[in-house]
Structure 1
């Protein structure tokens, strides 16, 4: 039961004391009292979960979810304890509270709902529960027939004290029970039972004496996003390659014509690489040729020309009105448009002329272009976040984001955020989400794990991962366990991409159609959010520029490509099947329940997801070998699936529409990669009809 609490003024740190804080002892030491510490605050609060880096960063949730908080609550002696979890939305000054429930071994648990996007705060308060101690001991005395009049008077006094803090019918109820305990020679069994009952215990907890309560020394927080932060399917598309005929630069209007195609495959986010004017100086040619000719279209990430910078649109794509119309039309198909946010400039960007102080200078006075030796990117100038004019720089970059938010963009894919200052991102995301809490940011940082995790803590809604390079069962199991079973899951929301314009893995280069299918199933079912770079993916584009490289041959980053999206061997229909399975099964729309099951074949990986009430259970089997049929015995964890050992159950393959009757924990599977390299089973604990049962007989 939740109730309101006006403030958190009874703030005191948890009772972790340094040597100077210890009471007087041998050796003539004197007690150095802490000014904010009342020695009568006896409860210790520690081991709080979730808590990220000592409360420095918020956890993440989406609206409609619940935050479950656990903590160790204990004190000296044998007194009973009570505690409350306090919580409030950032827009409210009123604290709500709900009681902690004992779990085991001094561990307590409470939870609160998240009904709005934005930021919630939560805190913990606990105290010695004198009436709870009295109730506990009285029950023992009653059982041993050792009740004395003094014991009853102690209870009556505690009830009177709480009645003085209560009002109305609650106060009257407490006083009546107190009077019953004072009856001579003693109250009736019925009256005593009332004093020991749950209802009186609940009232006494509400009006407890909290003068000496301990309040956890940190106010923790949770960032609450809309549902798309947890569950989304992204499709990356270059608008300039959307023209229906080869050789012409595509426009936003051409991109509109692709919307039914993308929506039919079941995607809900259309991600566009940078749509801004492209610089001419050092413009790259096909296949990253540093000497692009006059007909070269250049890289969209070389942002800025005389036509404008980050708040302008490449003229050949259309106008700002065309872009707004694309957003509206996409919405008609259930698609959101995500925009690339790349804070870097071409040598022709207006910032270079107007704010040269925002860029690093080499000893010869020229501006330092981007490098990743031996690679050189002469067409890109990185921004110097150590400039003395950093405040004006930050303000301008915020204006860029706000401008596109005002055009209707609510999702940004951020290019290489790990090459910009951490403190900048924390400030920028906080500023934007303060006024626009529905805005989402995807971090494209393929870098060291701790850097990726730091960016997530700083506020990025979702993050790219190492999924593209995790190929074996052991690698996938270990990595997904880290993401879903450790503290990482509290702040890092993975978004799995089997390919990007920058990443054509060796597995996709050589694995053939079966690999594209199996990697798609893995991305879409291991993660609640995933994406593909298309049409390269559904057309199984696998040609690398050279052996050992992950760069595409004829990369769309440097030229316009005409994609035959109606090709008969396209994976379009298969992708649609997978996305429909995701949309139709809530178990696949979150990551917390992911569980790996044992199977006696290293080329098969088996895992499940389920809703909290087990009303929806999905079991996935994937053949990790693209060239060979593999079979094996699965050893299912039936408890995880909500199944009984002696109960037959049905599995329905959502990709092939095949039905099977299984029983017990051990079941046999065969997966042929040439027909369907994966099986996505909906698990049903009982057969729907007698006809279903007869079918298997």
Structure 2
């Protein structure tokens, strides 16, 4: 695996290493004299600013199996000799698994970049090597001096010596023969100077050097950790629904509701799977408190038949280790999970660490809460919002006891087939607790995934990622303009990708943005395209496909919010009437599954558009060859009008180098297939577009190879 499988050392100098990297020597051989760089921060070739490195390796960078990791470093040396840079990947056993040559990222910047791709789950690591590129140094000097008529014989002799040594050191007979023949031609004074130089710098030699770089003064950084997790940790499409609403019915005579159950909710699963989702996420399924229960639209007084908020967990019927009696039994839940799994869906369960006033913990463990001066337990607040039906936990009075109880609960639900937890408001609990809990759980069950529902300050969101959360909700929901989206896409795909995996949820029961309230159906389609194409993780809450857009006055929440009451939606009827986004969502998820480039995070490139409301980005991935298929490239270009109220037109200017085209037609064009409409076009560096938000607001283009 990898672009560079071998190296050739053509000098007798010993490799120099980074000062912090120990060098092992066989016990039977005496240790050489210490290097002058021993104990220093700089090795023979300076290597700095390595990425992805989290706090100098204190925390591992995140990766998923088969995902491309963008490795970057600043590498340089004194003088004018050419530098080469290699990234080396080590598997969990410590063996070298991949070696890839990094490319310069900008003229004069000394920055280098490239891709490593870990193949399996586990604790991997990587290092960066800097070295003097002997061949590049010689070819540059030879061409400059020979063209000037300076040191002609010396330069030809140096080339002959270099390639002769390469021939002896090269382990591949065919390439060794190329080096040997080139060295012989360089020494042949019956040829003219230009022919001798051409023999040493021709395509065959350069190709052989590409396979076996001629390196000297090799300096390796220390190894940095890379935690490689399963696909669900960093890839997937999520769908959220309330089990109690699926199958809920209202009596036309009394007006009273009967709750849906796990059995009725399971009937919704085939439609969720048919739309191409990978995860079905359930809000809390536990008993709901009766004290201070909220009524419809978050009113402070609930009627006797109002179900209350599922996040107000706990009553006389039990707490976090119990199931709401209206939903069914543990056997019913197990059957629901099994039905989901048979359809290729995983079940994500809400882990909401808070309690209703009548939760059993409030009586048995008052030390797990905050008691106010008047003796009452403090309820939750997020000004201006107040949650009188919820008590937040306090981890400072009995951290060991409370932590042990929560671990017990997580283990309980893992035992019932739950491998994904969406954690409610993790930023209101100590970071140390999450580091401990996730570390403990993942040591026992590496497949368990935790999603942080943390819409909070950047420092806390970053800390939760470092502490172990595999993914997080993000600020995507509030990034709407071209400028905002460009800045955010660069941030999540480049700057924070090592520790923060964003799940681009387009809506939640708590979030109905003004963009969706006033943008019409076009806004719903635009946000779905941005989420599904822009991140390998995206999600939507039920009702999005029905364009639910009416908010409770003065808020970003849906009116008649499902958090406080039942909803009976006619999904099938809306789709039959052509008033559902479900077919388009299905198409988006189908495109995602067909194109691996869309399921990596760090491979996004922005392109230019002349229109201030049209965003253009591409995602590119090279898929390694297997025993059944040759290597191939997958490239998607997205051109999207982010103004839901208008038609936009203009010019797209593509960065062709980022697309890694194998070759252009004589007229400088290449073929793209439009994946929404099925059209096929010739595109090039400059391309005209016209996008009507009310018809098709975007082009999703696949570059034909």
After TM superposition, is the score higher than 0.5?
yes
Q: Is the 2:296–2:564 Cα contact (8 Å) retained in structure 1?
A: yes
Equivalents in 2 of 1:681, 1:205: separation in Å? 39
Counterpart of 1:521 in structure 2 is 529
Alignment partner for residue 572 of structure 1, among 576, 582, 595?
582
Partner of 2:239: 235
Q: Within the alignment, does 1:625 sit opposite 2:633 as a pair?
A: no
Cα distance change, pair 428–2 in 1 and its aligned pair in 2 (3 A) = farther
What's the secondary structure of 1:337's corresponding residue? strand
Aligned to 1:358: 368
Cα deviation code 1:217-259 (max 9, x no counterpart):
x542122122233332111100000116332211111111001
1:45 to 41, 47, 52: 47
TM-score, structure 1 as length reference: 0.78
Q: Is 1:595 the equivalent of 2:606? A: yes
Kindly indicate whether the alpha-carbon contact (under 8 Å) linking 2:18 and 2:44 is maintained by their aligned counterparts in 1: no
Provide closer, same or farther for how the CA distance between residues 391 and 609 of structure 1 changes in structure 2, counting only shifts above 3 A: same
CA distance in 2, matches of 1:277, 1:332: 27
SS of equivalent to 2:546: coil
SS of residue in 1 equivalent to 2:423: strand
The 3-state SS of whatever aligns with 1:632 is: strand
* Residue deviations 1:468-495 (CA, integer Å, cap 9, x gap): 22222232233223323x4223332222
CA contact (8 A) 1:41 1:127 kept: no
Structure 2 equivalent of residue 557 of structure 1: 563
Paired residue for 2:688, among 650, 667, 677?
Answer: 667
Give distance in 2, aligned partners of 1:101 and 1:502: 44
3-state DSSP class of the match of 1:443? Answer: strand
Residue 488 to residue 151, structure 1, CA distance change in 2 (3 Å):
closer
Question: 2 CA distance for matches of 1:548 and 1:222?
Answer: 45
1:240 is paired with a residue of what secondary structure?
A: coil
1:537 paired to 2:544 = yes
Q: Give, in whole Å, the separation in 2 of the partners of 1:580 and 1:495.
A: 18
Residue 508 (structure 2) pairs with residue 497 (structure 1): no
The question of 1:646 aligning with 2:654 is answered no
Contact 2:504-2:538 within 8 A present in 1 as well: yes
**Displacement, 1:75?**
5.0
Inter-partner Cα distance in structure 1 for 2:48 and 2:378: 50
- 2:514 aligned residue (506, 521, 526): 506
Structure 1: give runs of 5+ residues left out of the alignment: 15-32, 182-192, 687-697
Show the counterpart of 1:19: none
2:58 paired with 1:56: yes
Instruction: Quote how far apart the aligned CAs of 1:270 are.
Output: 0.5
Cα distance change, pair 322–205 in 1 and its aligned pair in 2 (3 A): same
CA positional deviation for 1:667: 1.5
Matched, 1:226 2:230: yes
Query: Separation in 1 of the partners of 2:609 and 2:80?
Result: 45
Distance in 1 of aligned mates of 2:305 and 2:138: 87
1:235 and 1:262 in contact (8 A); partners too: yes
Residue 666 of structure 1 aligns to a residue whose secondary structure is strand
Contact 2:653 2:687 in 1 (8 A): yes
Distance in structure 1 (CA, Å) of the matches to 2:216 and 2:643: 62
Structure 2 CA distance for partners of 1:298 and 1:618, relative to 1, 3 Å: same
* Larger CA deviation: 233-242 vs 464-473: 464-473
Partner of 2:19: 12
Q: Which residue does the alignment assign to 2:626?
A: none
How is 1:174-193 mapped onto 2 (pairs within 5 angstroms)?
Answer: none
> Residue in 2 aligned with 1:480?
489
SS at match of 2:527: helix
Alpha carbon RMSD of aligned pairs, Å? 4.6
Alpha-carbon distance change, 570 to 354 in structure 1, aligned in 2, over 3 angstroms: same
Name the CA distance, whole Å, in 1 between partners of 2:638 and 2:85: 40
Kindly indicate whether the alpha-carbon contact (under 8 Å) linking 2:37 and 2:43 is maintained by their aligned counterparts in 1.
no
Shift of 1:36: 6.5
Contact kept in structure 2, 1:634 and 1:669, CA below 8 Å: no
State the alpha-carbon separation in 2 of the partners of residues 557 and 611 from structure 1: 40
The CA distance in 2 between the partners of 1:460 and 1:646, in whole Å, is 49
Q: TM-score, normalised by structure 2?
A: 0.77
Q: CA 1:140 to 1:97, structure 2 compared with 1: closer, same or farther past 3 Å?
A: farther
Counterpart of 2:447 (choices 438, 447, 465) is 438
Q: 1 CA distance for matches of 2:666 and 2:459?
A: 42
In 1, Cα distance between the equivalents of 2:519 and 2:211? Answer: 66
Between the aligned partners of 1:560 and 1:169, the Cα distance in structure 2 is 70
Number of matched pairs: 638
**What's the secondary structure of 2:490's corresponding residue?**
helix
**CA distance in structure 1 between the partners assigned to 2:119 and 2:19 by the alignment:** 29
How far the C-alpha of 1:339 sits from its partner, in A, is 0.9
The residue matched to 2:297 in structure 1 has which SS? helix
Distance 1:469 1:67 in 2: 27
Which residue of structure 2 aligns with residue 318 of structure 1? Answer: 328
Select 1:367's aligned residue among 362, 377, 389.
377
* Greater mean deviation of Cα atoms: 254-263 or 136-145: 136-145
Structure 1 residue 386 displacement after superposition: 2.3
Pick which of 288-297 and 272-281 moved more: 288-297
Matched, 1:655 2:676: yes
Cα 1:314/1:597, change in 2 over 3 Å: same
1:102-146 Cα distance to aligned partner (Å, 9 max, x none):
748655667643121122122346678999999999999999476
Residue 342 of structure 2 corresponds to residue 342 of structure 1? no
Distance in 2 (CA, whole Å) between partners of 1:41 and 1:623 is: 49
Shift of 1:293: 2.9
The C-alpha deviation readout for 1:156-200, integer Å capped at 9, x for no partner, is 9x98xxx9xx9x999xx9xxx9xx99xxxxxxxxxxx99xx9999
User: Shift in Å at residue 365 of structure 1?
Assistant: 2.1
- Provide the rounded CA distance (Å) in 2 between the counterparts of 1:531 and 1:347: 32
Q: 1:155 to 1:357 in 2, by over 3 A?
A: same
* 1:573 Cα deviation from its structure 2 partner: 2.2
Pair 1:619–1:392, CA change in 2 (3 A): same
Against the structure 1 CA distance between its residues 440 and 145, is the aligned structure 2 distance closer, same or farther, given a 3 Å change threshold?
A: same
Alignment counterpart, residue 88 of structure 1, candidates 77, 90, 96 = 90
Q: CA deviation at 1:147?
A: 6.6
